[in-house]
Chain A
Amino acid sequence: MTSVNTSGSSLKITGGRLFDGYSEERDNTALLIRDGRIAAIGEAAAREDADEIIHAGNSVISPGFVDLCCNLREPGNGQKGNIASETLAAAHGGFTTVCASPETSPVNDSSAVTHLIRDGAASRSPIRVLPVGAITRGLEGDLLSDMAGLAAAGCVAVGNGSRGVRNARILRRCMAYAQTFGLTVMFSPENQALAADGYAHDGLVTSRLGLLGIPEVAETAAVMEMLLLAEETGVRLHLSQLSCGRSVEMLRDARRRGIAVTADVALHQLVFTEDALAGFDSRFHVRPPLRSESDRKALIAGVRDGVIDAIVSQHQPHDTAAKQAPMAATEPGLSSIESVLSLGLELVEMNELALPDLIRALTTGPAAVLGRTARLEEGETADICLFDPDAFWTPDSKTLVSAGRHAPVTHRELPGVVRLTLSEGRKAWPQTAG
């Protein structure tokens, strides 16, 4: 990726409000970036000279966002996006690190595919891409993948994407094997037999519209099973994309009992409910499904008190045809990574979430799940997002970068404009010509 700041040159950001998940807000300070690292902060930075100086004004300076669940669609047939298009979209959304879901074509279940993703990212991504390996071969849920090999090739965790594992016995063996190598396992809790051919929350809206429901218990039964198996095997378990209030309760109890479990929630689960499907809007066909208002409230409370560690984009870009059909025939997922921050800021505006909680769940929370840090201190990697929470933008085909056009909100003004995304000190967004 071409960039303005070649290593060796320096950049100083003055003013602004500094937030990270560790310390209190620091206002009107300075940040010096040199050689891809934060060279100085505060007084020390203010005194230094730099090749380029950016005045942050009222913008917020936070660590670059970390996404535990993103679909880059590469390898794949290219119709739904690729590493270049989707990582640029991520940078537009303020992300500097994304975990690449193993649900690619072919599936990332071998070190060869992992290398393919890493090589693609090295040459075409403005931000850091961390592959997640498939825990079962072909994500079929039957046979173990070469997990040790995947980890050696650079996978930061193993999981089964949005797909389930055949049964509890295989799940138990997946966990036991992953635990052998100290790998974190990521699972979307869904009991396949209970979810059956459903595609929407089994509740008021499905009853009225005659959609096929996925009952809440399809998730909660799986959460309980996974928590018990994690407790028994001692594996580090990460529950991906919770959707039910009851799951948050069980998670809270498990943590209290000392089980090594973390969890995330997709941002759209905090904003939308089953009502979004009322007009048969296939965009909001997502998995797990959007559930009830009380679930939404409980998930937000989980983020607020930290029981849910991370907010993810669960970015799933699609070609138009994949979304233009009656709901049952469409593919699940939103093209969401560019609106995570903005929709999160709307929650802040509505007093549902505090800004520090939002930033923590987008930075230090997910980083810790991966055993990484995301803090604004001297010596840290300069992964930084600078955004103006009071500026507005309108997502539409002109402003959106992702190949997927099905953003959750379009043609309406949203707060929060990302002014600058720095990945290891290099400008990932905005892209400058040359």
Chain B
Amino acid sequence: MTANDSSPHHLQLTRDGQLRHFLTLDGLNRALLTDILDTADSFIEVGERTIKKVPLLRGRTVVNLFFESSTRTRSTFELAAKRLSADVLNLDISTSATSKGESLSDTLLNLEAMASDMFVVRHSQSGAPHFIAESVTPGVAIINAGDGRHAHPTQAMLDMLTIRQKKGQFEGLKVAIVGDVLHSRVARSQIRALNELGAGEVRIIAPGTLLPKDVESLGCKVEYDMTRGMKDLDVVIMLRLQKERMEGALLPSEREFYRLYGLNQQKLALAHPDCIVMHPGPINRGVEIESAVADGPQSVILNQVTNGIAIRMAVMSMAMGGQVAERQQKLSERGQA
């Protein structure tokens, strides 16, 4: 029995199916994901102009609410918001309020008093942006910038944009995600996006200790042997391996992991000759990927970074747009009533 219907996709869409929060890719259909990619394409063009700025979010305040610090992700969100002409406030909560014992709810109340229009949230606990979206005042958009092991939807979408640029479409593509899927919010979002967009096959290549329970139910095949897993690949996505994984008996050593699951030129040669290599960054050279591959002709890692700004501009403007459209709709309904 399901206890309720407050599932994430009801929360993040308006009644007529527009985005109003961006929390997870669960429940977003192919048409909407394609809209996000198309809108991002337009923002890529904006990024090539002399003045790389459009007035969409002029006068609106975007708060980067990072409960877990990440300079890189925060910077791309900040740049994206600024290119949309928003005012940006960066709050690194990991070092302030909540660590002094203030609850998340209390932190939010304080921030709302600043009349913000959007929170970009990164949090170490799965579901935190969802919780915030449920408790903020209507009209405030929540963008998930990574929560626990749950989702990192903007990262997955920038990866999809990169794949579409390089491969044209998703149909029939064979894609592998290699490494620590268990702890990876990125992998969960990527698997979901690839399935919804119609990729031919999604393979997970990892040892048993780095796989979530029943991972196949997410829509992927499991392959323990990387040399077998690389066969016929169009896209290989390497995941970052945290050093902490050597503790707690998940892996014996970086050396053994690199030997079995690190991407080098020999292994890449087993894939399609035009297979692209992706990595969400920051890269651990010599742990999950060889420098010659990371910097090689098949690597699209830097394209991913550029696309990250466009995707974030797209998602922020679409979610803000959904919020304002919904508010207008409610006002006019109230006017009629």
Contacts and interface: CB of A to CB of B under 8 A. Distances in A.
B213 A211 contact: no
Interface residues of B, number: 35
B19 to A, nearest CB: 18
A204 interface: yes
A168 interface: no
Contact of A207 (B3, B8, B125, B213): B213
Interface string A317-340: 000010011111100000000000
Contacts of B224: none
B312 interface: no
A279 B1 contact: no
Given A206-B212, A210-B151, A210-B188, A276 B217 contact: no
Interface in A79-111: none
A328 B1 contact: no
A177 interface: no
A321 B7 contact: no
Nearest to A196: B248
B125 A279 contact: no
A209 B150 contact: yes
A326 B126 CA distance: 7
Contacts of B149: 210-212
Interface string B1-35: 11111111011000000000000001000000000
Interface string A33-56: 000000000000000000000000
A279 B4 contact: yes
Contact of B126 (A209, A276, A279, A324): A209
Nearest to B213: A202
B127 A206 contact: no
B3 A281 contact: yes
A326 B125 contact: yes
Interface stretch (B49-57, B111-119, B128-136, B161-169): B128-136
A208 B185 CA distance: 10
A275 interface: yes
Interface string A277-296: 01111111000000000000
A324 B109 CA distance: 13
A208 B188 contact: yes
A218 interface: no
Given A321-B103, A324-B105, A325-B103, A211 B126 contact: yes
Q: Max chain A CB contacts within 10 Å: which of B104, B148, B188?
A: B148
Contacts of A204: 213-214, 217
Given A278-B7, A324-B135, A325-B103, A207 B127 contact: no
A203 B135 contact: no
Contacts of B7: 278-279
Contacts of A164: none
Contact of B148 (A275, A284, A328): A328
B218 interface: yes
A325 B105 contact: yes
B129 to A, nearest CB: 9
B215 interface: yes
Contact of B1 (A275, A326, A327): A275
A276 B3 contact: yes
Given A271-B1, A276-B2, A328-B125, A213 B213 contact: yes
A273 to B, nearest CB: 7
Given A325-B131, A326-B128, A329-B104, A284 B3 contact: yes
B3 A203 contact: no
Contacts of A202: 213
Contact of B127 (A276, A321, A327, A408): A327
A408 B3 contact: yes
A280 B131 contact: yes
Contacts of A206: 212-213
Contacts of A209: 126-127, 150
Contacts of A245: none
Q: Max chain A CB contacts within 10 Å: which of B2, B127, B148?
A: B127
Contacts of B125: 326-329
B123 interface: yes
B218 A208 contact: yes
Given A210-B150, A210-B188, A278-B7, A321 B1 contact: no
A202 B182 CA distance: 12
A203 B105 contact: no
Contact of A280 (B127, B185, B215, B218): B127
B6 A279 contact: yes
Given A207-B217, A210-B150, A326-B131, A279 B8 contact: yes
A340 to B, nearest CB: 16
A278 B5 CA distance: 9
A215 interface: yes
B54 to A, nearest CB: 34
Given A204-B214, A279-B5, A281-B4, A210 B104 contact: no
B213 A203 contact: yes
Given A280-B131, A328-B126, A207 B218 contact: yes
Contacts of B127: 209, 211, 280, 326-328
Interface in B173-232: 185, 188, 212-215, 217-218
Contacts of A208: 26, 188, 217-218
Interface string A181-223: 0000000000000000000001110111111110100000000
Contacts of A278: 2, 7
Nearest to B130: A280
Given A203-B213, A324-B105, A325-B131, A210 B126 contact: yes
Contacts of B150: 209-211
22 contacts: A204-B213, A206-B212, A208-B217, A209-B150, A210-B147, A210-B148, A211-B127, A211-B150, A215-B213, A272-B1, A275-B1, A276-B2, A276-B3, A276-B4, A279-B7, A279-B11, A280-B8, A281-B3, A284-B3, A325-B105, A325-B131, A326-B130
For the complex of A and B, 4 pairs with smallest distance between CB atoms: A210-B149, A210-B150, A280-B127, A276-B3
Given A203-B214, A326-B148, 6 more contacts: A272-B1, A276-B4, A280-B126, A326-B104, A327-B131, A329-B104
